Copies of this chain bind each other. A is one copy, B any other.
Amino acid sequence: MNVMTTRAPRRDAVENRAGILSAARSTLALDPHASVDVIARSAGLSRRTLYGHFDDRDALIRELISSGAQRFNAIAASIDDADARLALARLAALLWQEAAHVQVAAALALDEAHVEHTADALAPLRRTVAALVRRGQDDGSFRTDLAAPTLARLIEEMARTVISRTDAASSGAANLAVRAVLSIAGLSWREADELLAAHPDIGTSTLDTSDTDTDTDTESRA
């Protein structure tokens, strides 16, 4: 009954919409409480215009989370290494490459208002990690001093922390994420080192040397 409903949207309109999402991504990653006005301005548009594209501040955020989550749920699904250690390492590395998309989710995941939605959206990824942990514990490559659910949660938290509180542009950042996660899984650092050396396709095998600072240090973006 409703063929030819409203006609196709204009080109600049869809571009602006995408621009807003992109701006929201980078802005909210730094400050999850950034105002609608700041987001709009940082996209080169007016606040009023933003409300033309999204009903709500919440609608914008929900779309951000959904698309991001979808993005790396796909990554989680693509992992098929038999070795649980390798699987975990590769997962961390691949997720890292999506840093721009992941950081928002990582930041918003802590926001009381969106915890629920984020948790739902990330359920597939979480299931993958859970299965991975169980497998790793069964074949003796992961630690068994912590219960599987606890370990899975710890790994998630570690990943979230490294992702959201590390300068994505810094040199050994991806490496840092991968190694941190493997450490939490129970590997000694030498073991992790060997693993990564044997599989250079995972990340840059470059050893870290420069500092990886963001906040917490007194002088930042000053």
List residues of A whose CB falls within 8 A of some B CB. Answer: 31, 109, 112, 115-116, 118-120, 143-147, 149-150, 153-154, 156-158, 160-162, 165, 172, 176, 179-180, 183-184, 186-189, 191-193, 207-213, 215-218, 220
Contacts and interface: CB of A to CB of B under 8 A. Distances in A.
A162 to B, nearest CB: 7
Contacts of A112: 31
A172 to B, nearest CB: 8
Given A188-B187, A216-B156, A211 B147 contact: yes
A193 B146 CA distance: 11
Contact of A216 (B119, B161, B180, B193): B119
A7 to B, nearest CB: 40
A189 B196 CA distance: 19
Contact of A183 (B119, B162, B183, B215): B183
A26 to B, nearest CB: 16
Contacts of A172: 146, 150
Nearest to A152: B211
A172 B119 CA distance: 24
29 contacts: A115-B215, A115-B220, A118-B216, A119-B217, A120-B218, A145-B189, A145-B192, A145-B193, A145-B208, A146-B172, A146-B176, A146-B179, A146-B208, A147-B208, A147-B209, A150-B176, A153-B211, A153-B212, A153-B213, A154-B176, A154-B180, A156-B216, A157-B161, A158-B161, A158-B180, A161-B161, A180-B184, A183-B183, A183-B184
Nearest to A112: B31
A31 B115 CA distance: 13
A210 B151 CA distance: 11
Contacts of A218: 116, 119-120
Contacts of A31: 112
B176 A165 contact: no
Closest 9 CB pairs of A and B: A188-B188, A143-B189, A186-B189, A161-B161, A183-B183, A149-B211, A119-B218, A150-B212, A146-B208
A207 B160 CA distance: 25
